[in-house]
Amino acid sequence: MNTRKPMAAHIVAAEEVAKGEVHFTVEAYDALQEKSFTGVVKVIDGMPQGHFIKPGKSPLSPPCLQVAKAAVLNAHNSK
């Protein structure tokens, strides 16, 4: 029986720091690494940015990176 937790990401906090710029604190569980991570993603003029979701710089595996990015975009677009 497989009891492995699925990839997951949720927004812990959001702060509008300037017009058109929101910083999201994201908690993500990376099922491939079986680890949890917390990081900040900036959304500037609708575009998510930052090391937490940048391939090659992020501690997240590529599938988890996509889950985290989707969570940020979903939270940003539902404001």
In tens, the pLDDT along 11-53 reads 999 999 999 999 999 999 999 999 999 999 999 999 999 999 9
Would the pLDDT of 79 be above 90?
Answer: no
In which residue are the tokens 């940020």 written? 72
Quick one: pLDDT at residue 67? 97
Would the pLDDT of 1 be above 60?
Answer: no
Query: How far apart, in whole angstroms, are the C-alpha atoms of residue 61 and residue 32?
Result: 7
Distance separating the N- and C-terminal Cα atoms of the chain: 40
Residues 4-16 have a mean pLDDT of 94
Query: How far apart, in whole angstroms, are the C-alpha atoms of residue 58 and residue 4?
Result: 22
Query: How far apart, in whole angstroms, are the C-alpha atoms of residue 78 and residue 62?
Result: 24
Q: pTM here?
A: 0.90
Would the pLDDT of 76 be above 80?
Answer: yes
